[in-house]
A = this chain, B = another copy of it.
Amino acid sequence: MPHDTTPTDENSEASGPVDLEIVDSLAQLSFLVHGTLGQVAAEHGLSIAQLRLFGVLRDREPGMRELARHLGLDKSSMTGLVDRAERRDLVRRTASPHDGRAVLVSLTAQGRELARAVAADAGQRVQDLAAHLTDAQRSQLSVLASALVAGHGAAGAGQ
């Protein structure tokens, strides 16, 4: 555990409380962004879970098992998630041509259109969150956030 290794940069708070501040700021940022995404999803009648599901289906046609792995959920949780989306004609199940036990999940035209609309709105709203930063700051934040995420085992679906 790295412990207070002297920040060395402007705005130094003398005692270098960075160790604590990074945690607090990332947690707050996380809740802010997560909450914003949840709000946007809700405006389209979706939940965060559905939003992530759509994010995965956007460029894949996975089986339930792979879907569960992508989202970090149990396969039994997937059944309900896909059921509810299917009931609304947003996704469909098709039999796998290679495995008689498996089904492939994909977006319907309606689901794809909804996914597009939600993604557009989400993009706008998240961008708005950073609207008061300068271009340079936004750029830096983006780079640093990507760098942090890159150093890990890919979380869930993007969106």
Report which of B2, B22, B30, B142 forms a contact with A18, defined as CB distance below 8 A.
B142
Interface size of A by CB at 8 A reads 71
Interface residues of A (CB under 8 A from B): 1-2, 4-9, 11, 14-15, 18-35, 37, 52, 55, 58-59, 72, 116, 119-120, 122-124, 126-133, 135-149, 151-152, 155-159
B9 lies within 8 A of A122 (CB)? no
| A136-B6 Cα distance, complex, nearest whole Å | 9
A138 lies within 8 A of B25 (CB)? no
Min CB–CB distance A55 → chain B (angstroms): 6
* Residues of chain B lying within 8 A (CB to CB) of residue A131: 2, 151
* Residues of chain B lying within 8 A (CB to CB) of residue A127: 1-2, 19, 22-23
Supply 4 further A-B pairs (C-beta < 8 A) apart from A31-B155, A32-B155. A2-B58, A5-B116, A140-B140, A140-B144
Report which of B136, B144, B155 forms a contact with A141, defined as CB distance below 8 A.
B144
B152 lies within 8 A of A18 (CB)? no
Chain B CB within 10 Å — which of A11, A33, A34, A156 has the most? Answer: A33
